[in-house]
Structure 1
């Protein structure tokens, strides 16, 4: 019997029991829809996470190279303008911008306090009221936050060490770089978020930058054109800096490869998505049992039809093909409907989330493959049972 004829007979048999076929198919629809929804949202999370980590706010790819001095006395060592030019020479057609980034916290600065050189940990602030607990004096004014500001706040620990108390420390002079500051306040590290960082001095960032002869920084931020191989290009820049960088003899240049990090994050998200999808896929097993039950009932109810077909020359193989085809048609139809429902559900859920779902070609192919496999596996025994019916027994009944 031709395949087209088998399909026509199978479709007619399923249509003869519309309600039973529909209720059986619902299980397949729910199972496939659940898996497709989870996979689509998981792929969306993965794509959004990788994109956010890989690109800046303008969608450009960026990377940072860090300079680590080998000696704690190298407080002024860092990237210079010559390093910017050197980095740009590595791939001028791929590198859009190179800038030196300045640290703001725990800067190790050699300054003068009470006419003595003192190594201090300095944190730069941009707020008139930083999140600190003042022990004496007052905080910064809006004017002191400007480039010509001269106010500084020191820790209670530093005040005790150098001035032996808060009273003597207030209104004393502090020299950092080429700028003199007036100590206007004392803060207590144990009661502030700076305590864990062991900060000695707080000064306004603009005022501090204006008082530095050198505008060197410990980080070099590189912006690449979209589509560039960030990992490879940045490694090339690091190698060039190691050979010709301005501070190559004073420390080391390093780069944290975000490409490997992104790959690891992507693998974790994919594994979690597949795990949750596998749990949701358990419903497909339950639906498969429903398909098997329906096909057994159908084979039992259609004994007369099977007997007539055998009497006119149908072979057991043809009977088996027909019932297998009915099972596969049922699960495939449920799979297609489940794919559509799952994709729509993912898009509806994503309306309340900061990313878009991603329905991949693999999900579509997987839907058809899983639906076919469920139809074959759970339709095989009922089809075999129908094919093995004895014509004499059917005629007797």
Structure 2
């Protein structure tokens, strides 16, 4: 086998220009597939990361949804939590909100804007100002670049703004990328709880279940009890929420779209395969003397077929490897312009090499088979 591979490399090296042009279709096709898969995987990873990782291993999440657009301030109450804690298998219950930010109206002189507002995160990268942890009843506020442009013509740092009638000092400005959602402003946790937390309805109930409990059964029982005893049952409906399933389904849809586009790009490999078949026909025709000599010295039809088939596969694998390298280079260039990082996975590399090998096998078989079936008498007569 090693001897046949070395012969294949020598044969390819004798006609470098012709074989390179044959490989060019494979190189472009593989590089295109690598780029598309990298962009798709990077986008899916960024989106699912933005949706958050939900640890639902030991809990069941109940969701309250209003039946009318006008009843948006309902949700779970402490009495509801007491009822849910009595469900068999439930250890304890915590009430939360699916949307953690509050709405507010901000104004500076004659300019006003409606914003989303949240409590200060642990780490916030600022484009202007200096980040520090605001404690207690701090009147500091961090605002987005967009909000700063709406309210101020010049520098916004240390300016006074009014948020729902309360005066704040702009301490810093941060950037909101297209791929990561952030509210328009951040205030200290204490101020957020005192002034804005009351706007947020507790539309989620997190039921922490006991280790031996059946989560599915706990969810069904909890929903039944809320439908019968929930304080907001007249204005909304209760259901079991599965955020992980939603994230997985969204990721699956993104992956399906990526693979479909990659498949369309991979059609170019079909054209490249026809080029491989053509060059292998030419190679067989040029080496009929060599085939005759091999047959005269006892080479079987299988030996002849395998030799040319290996040459076809080696030709395509070389094109595939060059295509992967070109794909890496193109992805590095593309990453400089994307708002997220395109990611080349090992799956994409294995898929590319597998496709390259398959092209060599499929489109090299017919010419190789023709060489194997050549009659020794006919080959000697030609000489």
* Bin of the TM-score, shorter chain as denominator length: 0.5 to 0.7
The answer to whether the aligner puts 1:126 opposite 2:105 as a matched pair is yes
Q: Is the Cα–Cα contact under 8 Å of residues 27 and 286 in structure 1 kept in the other structure?
A: yes
- The alpha-carbon distance between structure 1 residues 287 and 395, as it changes in their structure 2 partners (threshold 3 A), is same
Deviation at 1:299, TM superposition (A): 0.9
Report the Cα distance in structure 2 between the residues aligned to 1:325 and 1:293, rounded to whole angstroms: 16
Report the Cα distance in structure 1 between the residues aligned to 2:34 and 2:278, rounded to whole angstroms: 25
Partner of 2:202: 219
The count of corresponding residues between Structure 1 and Structure 2 is 295
317-326 or 387-396, larger mean C-alpha shift: 387-396
Deviation at 1:370, TM superposition (A): 1.1
Partner of 2:303: 318
SS at match of 1:323: helix
Deviations 1:309-360 (A, max 9, x none): 1111111221111000000011112112212322332232123212222333
- The alpha-carbon distance between structure 1 residues 299 and 331, as it changes in their structure 2 partners (threshold 3 A), is same
TM (norm. structure 2) is 0.62
- Match runs of 1:1-397 below 5 Å: 3-54=1-52, 65-66=63-64, 68=66, 78-81=75-78, 98-99=95-96, 125-128=104-107, 130=112, 142=162, 145-146=165-166, 215=198, 218-220=201-203, 239=223, 242=226, 247=231, 252-254=237-239, 257-397=242-382
Report the Cα distance in structure 2 between the residues aligned to 1:51 and 1:233, rounded to whole angstroms: 30
Report the Cα distance in structure 2 between the residues aligned to 1:44 and 1:390, rounded to whole angstroms: 55
Q: Is the Cα–Cα contact under 8 Å of residues 104 and 163 in structure 2 kept in the other structure?
A: no
Report the Cα distance in structure 1 between the residues aligned to 2:233 and 2:315, rounded to whole angstroms: 73
Report the Cα distance in structure 2 between the residues aligned to 1:75 and 1:304, rounded to whole angstroms: 85
TM (norm. structure 1) is 0.60
39-48 or 349-358, larger mean C-alpha shift: 349-358
Deviation at 1:242, TM superposition (A): 2.1
Dislocated runs of 4+, deviation >6 Å? 84-95, 101-105, 209-212, 222-225, 231-234, 243-246
SS at match of 2:63: strand
371-380 or 241-250, larger mean C-alpha shift: 241-250
Q: Is the Cα–Cα contact under 8 Å of residues 32 and 339 in structure 1 kept in the other structure?
A: yes
- The alpha-carbon distance between structure 1 residues 388 and 262, as it changes in their structure 2 partners (threshold 3 A), is same
Q: Is the Cα–Cα contact under 8 Å of residues 291 and 371 in structure 2 kept in the other structure?
A: yes
Report the Cα distance in structure 1 between the residues aligned to 2:49 and 2:163, rounded to whole angstroms: 40
Deviation at 1:271, TM superposition (A): 2.2
- The alpha-carbon distance between structure 1 residues 349 and 395, as it changes in their structure 2 partners (threshold 3 A), is same
Deviations 1:53-80 (A, max 9, x none): 2359xxxxxx88335489x9x9986444
SS at match of 2:311: helix
Q: Is the Cα–Cα contact under 8 Å of residues 304 and 372 in structure 2 kept in the other structure?
A: yes
Deviation at 1:41, TM superposition (A): 1.1
Which stretches in structure 1 are left out of the alignment for 5+ residues?
57-62, 106-123, 133-140, 148-208, 226-230
Deviations 1:172-194 (A, max 9, x none): xxxxxxxxxxxxxxxxxxxxxxx
Report the Cα distance in structure 1 between the residues aligned to 2:86 and 2:53, rounded to whole angstroms: 22
Q: CA RMSD in A?
A: 4.5
- The alpha-carbon distance between structure 1 residues 103 and 250, as it changes in their structure 2 partners (threshold 3 A), is farther
Report the Cα distance in structure 2 between the residues aligned to 1:307 and 1:358, rounded to whole angstroms: 50
